[in-house]
Homo-oligomer: A and B are copies of this chain.
Amino acid sequence: MSRRRVTLADVAKAAGVSRTTASLVLSGRGRELRISQDVEQRVMRAADELQYRPNIVSVGLRTGITRTIGFVSDTIATSRLAGDMIKGALEAARERGVMLFIGETEGDAELERLLLQAMHDRQVDGLIFASMFTRTIKVPKGITAVPSVLLNALPKQPTPLPAVLPDEVEAGRTAARVLLDAGHRDGIYLIGTGPGMRDVTSGSVAAVERLTGIREVLREAGVKLAGGRVCPDWQPEYGLAATRDLLRTARPRALICFNDRVALGAYQALDDFGLKVPSDVSVVSFDDHPIAAWMRPKLTTVALPHYELGRKAVEVLFTEIGREHDPDRRGEVHRVAMTLQNRESVASAPAT
């Protein structure tokens, strides 16, 4: 029943030539090696009729190229982030005829070691080392045995590995500009991180960079931040608590929330205090999590480009594979733009 796979030998026999010739023709090297038109046609026809497909496992053994890359992440399930990032990587990989191995380390160094080993055993052509939220990571040694790219992560120690990251500083600028453009100059508060450069949620690269961009734009416009609240974690309950705390002593006109989950909590706190978004308080946020479009009013937010990050990582990986033996390649950092999702949570400041 189970028809055996068609092999190169079958094609060669059908075309009445040797395996060598068939291989040459099918790999497109027939021309330069002076294979006759007639033979070329016969091989092509035979391959076509038999529906020949080269066995990639075999090719992998012979050439060492498996048309396979590994996508290793700390965790893929926690945030929806992962989905789109993998989707982007998947599509970019498919365009190149390459498949993706997926692996999760759960942040466990031993699992990571095992996983990288398993990938090496399968002779992957390259590795994408991804983090689900932007942070600095310790680059596992041995990873350099194969071309690699860091995704959403920065190396703790300097390495020759390239990295792909969202442009968080510019995102901070964008968020600040949205408020300025709407005429806000007073009563702007931060929820999640800030107002000072030292008031940062620990371990969060995004916090530092977003804050940097926000402060830069406001400073240039001569606008002073009215205040801010740090959240230990950017979850709705902390956003709720921080905003409540703020509202007990202040009457903000605009909130910059450090992500959409925090913004969800902020909405709830504003509702508790009888404040309407955006007429009483404008809110702008980051990430463009699915809930942003479900909230009422719909949340204006600067989107994380998950899909593009995934794509870009694959693209960078392929140029890396191309220049594998280039001695002066070194870890460039690629920034992917974060674009504004302009929705309903920002209103003009009342004229003074």
Contacts and interface: CB of A to CB of B under 8 A. Distances in A.
Given A54-B121, A145-B2, A86 B76 contact: yes
Contacts of A82: 83
B294 A261 contact: yes
A118 B54 CA distance: 10
A84 B90 CA distance: 18
A17 interface: no
A117 interface: yes
Interface stretch (A94-102, A279-287, A312-320, A331-339): A94-102
B102 A100 contact: yes
A60 interface: yes
A117 B77 contact: no
A61 B123 CA distance: 13
A162 to B, nearest CB: 19
A68 interface: yes
Interface string A322-335: 00000000000000
Contacts of A100: 101-103
A264 B99 contact: no
Interface residues of A, number: 50
A32 B87 CA distance: 48
A261 B293 CA distance: 12
A291 interface: yes
B121 A236 contact: no
Contacts of A45: none
Contacts of A83: 76-78, 80, 82-83
Interface string A134-145: 000000000001
Contact of A103 (B57, B75, B90, B115): B90
30 contacts: A2-B145, A53-B117, A53-B120, A53-B121, A54-B121, A55-B61, A55-B123, A56-B122, A57-B61, A57-B122, A57-B123, A71-B102, A75-B87, A76-B86, A77-B87, A80-B83, A82-B83, A83-B83, A86-B102, A87-B104, A94-B103, A94-B115, A97-B118, A100-B101, A100-B103, A102-B102, A236-B294, A264-B294, A268-B296, A291-B294
Interface of A: 2, 53-58, 60-61, 66, 68, 71, 75-78, 80, 82-84, 86-87, 90-91, 94, 97, 99-104, 115, 117-123, 145, 236, 261, 264, 268, 290-291, 294, 296, 307
